[in-house]
A and B are shown apart, each in its own frame.
Chain A
Amino acid sequence: MQDVLKILEEDARTTPDQIAVMTGRPVEEIKRIIKKAEDDRVLLAYHAQVNWDRAGQEQVWALIEVKLVPQRDVGFDSIAARIYRFPEAHSVFLVSGAFDLAVTVVARTMQEVSNFVSGKIAPIEGVQGTVTHFLMKRYKDQGIIMDGEERPQRLAVSP
């Protein structure tokens, strides 16, 4: 299963037929592996990664530090759930260190981000405070370099 997942993680467009050739296994087996991984929520989604700035649609990204007060009978999990159900919350992580949840928010303007934080996150019971960091420039995301230098070039022909 690992090799199939790695291939799809690298390029989600790879078809089961192509994966079958690449791994030397029957296509039916590949399809079975993929279906099981999907059902078990090992294989979660098949995204294309888009640079929306280049596509002409501006986006604002922000990283929100959320400090929590642990609630009686309620751990961090349910507070996290209240936050991650918002579509504006792009990612939610429980982190070690000076604060508790790291939340990435994506919106169209800085105003929208700050409205979301102050109107939706800050008032949640158990949220002690937030610090908002606007992401000024994304250099590299999910393993892809957005702009900037290409990988070092090889000689086009070598013996």
Chain B
Amino acid sequence: MTAEPSTTGSYRLSKRVRQIPASGIRKFFDLLASMDGVISLGVGEPDFVTPWTIREAAIYSITSGQTMYTSNYGTVELRSAIARHLERRYGVSYDPLREILVTVGVSEALDLSLRALLDPGDEVLMPDPCYVSYMPCTVLAGGVAVSVPTSMENDFRLMSQDVEQRISSSSKVLLTGYPSNPTGAVMPKEDLLEIAEVVRRHDLLVVSDEIYDRLVYETEHTCFAALPGMRERTVLLGGFSKSYAMTGWRVGYAAAPAEIIEGMMKVHQYVTMCAPTMSQAAALEALQRGEEHVEAMRESYDHRRRFMVKALNDIGLTCFNPRGAFYAFPSIQSTGMPSEVFAEQLLLEEKVAVVPGSAFGSKGQGFVRCCYATSMDEIKEATERIARFVERHRAYPAK
């Protein structure tokens, strides 16, 4: 899918930039900014502050004068800690000196991987709905985004037959992000093995965005690169933003075969030089001593997840059980409204902000994304307000 470029304008912006559609979230954000007393379920980040020891490590790094560039790849200590972490958690080995790159968030790692791998016209298969950056980054890298529909009936899992159906002679990369933003879906190991089989059969490369890997509930996370035969064809993206509440620090990493990392490095070294030095110090501390905080946060999210999902279902907004990330993705079909209208009306009538599912792809139409990384009080209040709204706008009789 490519978007038609908007009109040229007086600055003759590049065609590839004009091809990127305006963010579905932006307009909504502007509307919200003009209102008071809104409960927002529209965030995409934790409501925790980064644990103190991690903040302290960064402060110490600054006060002890570590304010210069680090190696482009990131500090050796951090890369080694990342390699040890991946080995311990998922049993997958990477050479810290040549197969790990520390980046400015997973966002940069995603961009680098696509720029390193795509030639003009190369196709990138991705789930629909999916994270807002996947399509624009593909377009910016000169590639063609190919959506693979997912559905609530399948718990928004990526089904191997749906992927295989959309493979063409131009298919180069499968870009997946599980646990998923916006759906909260996870990919059970059996499903990933089927995907791996398709990937192998068609000699695809995989970019696996696993930023939410630690936030899984009632299940274990399967690292794609740890699957048999997949390490050699996968760019594994990971970070600290969601699991250690470090969204503002802008530090993440890519782990991949050396040749791919070298390609990514070529872009990275010219475009960003290195991730912030003090953020790298903080990330190192997170890996070394942050484990207890991850589990405490995860448990807290789990409580709120269960509460919100039940509340949404009770209201009549059918919501599948999301076992990852911190989003619920209920269907708003019972109101008969399109997502954008639902979100706008809910905001104006009840001052609750949710993100229209259509902002994440055409298969997100008819859904909204509700983030439960907010206080229990806000969740309780928000779900009460949503209940009132749904009652007023019910298109079908309540069961």
Residues of A within 8 A of B (CB): 3, 7, 10-11, 14, 18, 21-24, 151-152, 154-159
Given A10-B376, A11-B376, A22-B304, verify A157-B310 contact (CB < 8 Å).
no
What number of residue pairs across chains A and B have CB atoms under 8 A from each other?
56
Complex Cα spacing A21 to B43, Å: 23
Given A157-B25, A157-B28, verify A23-B306 contact (CB < 8 Å).
yes
B25 surroundings in chain A (CB, below 8 A): 157-159
- Contact of A22 with B43 in the complex, beta carbons under 8 Å: no
- Contact of A158 with B45 in the complex, beta carbons under 8 Å: yes
Q: How near does chain B come to A108, taking the closest CB pair, in angstroms? A: 32
User: Which A-B residue pairs are the 10 nearest by beta carbons?
Assistant: A22-B303, A157-B42, A158-B44, A156-B40, A157-B29, A159-B132, A21-B310, A156-B32, A22-B307, A159-B44
Q: How near does chain B come to A58, taking the closest CB pair, in angstroms? A: 29
Could you give 26 example pairs across A and B, Cβ below 8 Å? A3-B303, A7-B303, A11-B376, A11-B377, A14-B376, A21-B310, A22-B303, A22-B304, A22-B307, A24-B218, A152-B49, A154-B47, A156-B32, A156-B38, A156-B43, A157-B29, A157-B32, A157-B40, A157-B355, A158-B25, A158-B43, A159-B23, A159-B25, A159-B44, A159-B131, A159-B181
B40 surroundings in chain A (CB, below 8 A): 156-157
- Contact of B306 with A151 in the complex, beta carbons under 8 Å: no
Q: How near does chain A come to B61, taking the closest CB pair, in angstroms? A: 21
Interface size class of B (residues with CB under 8 A): 20 to 34
Q: Which of A11, A18, A24, A159 gathers the greatest number of chain B CB atoms within 10 Å?
A: A159
- Contact of B44 with A3 in the complex, beta carbons under 8 Å: no
| 9 extra A-B contacts, CB within 8 A, seeds A22-B303, A156-B29, A158-B44 | A7-B303, A21-B306, A22-B302, A22-B306, A154-B45, A156-B353, A157-B29, A157-B32, A157-B43
- Contact of B43 with A155 in the complex, beta carbons under 8 Å: yes
B133 at the interface (CB under 8 A from A): yes
* Smallest CB gap from B374: residue in A: A154
Among the listed A23, A151, A157, A158, which residue makes an inter-chain contact with B303, where contact means beta carbons less than 8 Å apart? A23
B341 at the interface (CB under 8 A from A): no
B95 surroundings in chain A (CB, below 8 A): none
* Smallest CB gap from B38: residue in A: A156
Mark B295-325 against chain A: 1 for CB-CB distance below 8 A, else 0. Answer: 0000100111011001000000000000000
Given A152-B49, A156-B353, verify A18-B307 contact (CB < 8 Å).
yes
A157 surroundings in chain B (CB, below 8 A): 25, 28-29, 32, 40, 42-43, 353, 355
A156 surroundings in chain B (CB, below 8 A): 29, 32-33, 38, 40, 42-43, 353
Complex Cα spacing A10 to B376, Å: 10
A155 surroundings in chain B (CB, below 8 A): 29, 43
- Contact of B307 with A21 in the complex, beta carbons under 8 Å: yes
B28 surroundings in chain A (CB, below 8 A): 157
A24 surroundings in chain B (CB, below 8 A): 218, 306
Mark B35-70 against chain A: 1 for CB-CB distance below 8 A, else 0. Answer: 000101011110101000000000000000000000
Complex Cα spacing A156 to B373, Å: 12
* Smallest CB gap from A24: residue in B: B306
Q: Which of A7, A11, A154 gathers the greatest number of chain B CB atoms within 10 Å?
A: A154
